[in-house]
Amino acid sequence: MADSSGAPERYIDVTLTARGVTCTARLLTDRAPLTCAAVWDALPLGSEVYHAKYARNEIYALFPPFAEQEPPLENPTVTPIPGDLCYFSFNGTQLGSRSYGYGEGASLAAGAPVVDLALFYERNNLLLNGDVGWVPGIVWGQVVEGLEEMAEACQDLWRSGAVGETLSFARSARSSPSGA
């Protein structure tokens, strides 16, 4: 299969490792080609998971920058829908406030840049942060399989806690060989 631009469709698996729950997402290469290429080339990725405090129904992981050049704000949104995968880029001082709960993480020290890869699993999200205002994200993927199970696991993460859980992103076997 190919997307609307004629490029082969690419898929990734998004997993909450300790809970053993995976969903599959299609990369939106026709809408966010630079972001999709940056993420695809960096896969696999995995890091400690967080549940959003402000955006509402979001889980995410933080990573050191992995793109040669930071993607521009392509396919932006401030109102992600269920199944959206979003990409955000911050410097460490933007996330350095103790109120965010990251502690003394080395990736947030001294203004070091950080990439936030997020999965939105339910409706009524608004990317508005009281400290900085609107925080548009790049929508680079859409879950096509397993969202209901992932949403249940995300609710459990919200209620039971995220300690010891990892959010990982990996190329899916569903991707066509030419999309490798």
Q: Looking at residue 154, which CATH number applies to its domain?
A: 2.40.100.20
- Let me know if residue 161 belongs to a domain: yes
pLDDT bucket at 4, cuts 50 / 70 / 90:
low
pLDDT of residue 118: 98
What percent of the chain is modeled with pLDDT above 70? 82
Give the contacts of 160 (CB within 8 A, at least 6 positions apart): none
- Let me know if residue 5 belongs to a domain: no
pLDDT in tens, 21-42: 999 999 999 999 999 999 999 9
pLDDT in tens, 48-92: 999 997 779 999 999 999 999 999 999 999 999 999 999 999 886
pLDDT of residue 96: 56
38 vs 175, which has greater pLDDT?
38
- Let me know if residue 90 belongs to a domain: yes
pLDDT in tens, 97-135: 555 555 554 445 556 789 999 999 999 999 988 778 899
pTM: 0.89
pLDDT of residue 174: 83
Give the range of the structural domain holding residue 91, as residue numbers without chain letter: 11-175
pLDDT of residue 109: 55
- Let me know if residue 6 belongs to a domain: no
Q: How many domains does the chain have?
A: 1
> Is the Cα torsion angle 44, 14, 113, 35 positive or negative in sign?
positive
Asked whether the predicted pLDDT for residue 5 surpasses 50, the reply is yes
Are 31 and 72 spatial neighbours (Cβ–Cβ below 8 Å)? no
**Is residue 116 classed as helix, strand or coil in its secondary structure?**
strand
- Let me know if residue 4 belongs to a domain: no
pLDDT of residue 103: 55
Q: Within 13 Å of residue 169, how many CA atoms lie on the same side as its CB? A: 31
- Let me know if residue 29 belongs to a domain: yes
Q: CA-to-CA distance for 9 and 174, rounded, in angstroms? A: 9
179 vs 112, which has greater pLDDT?
112
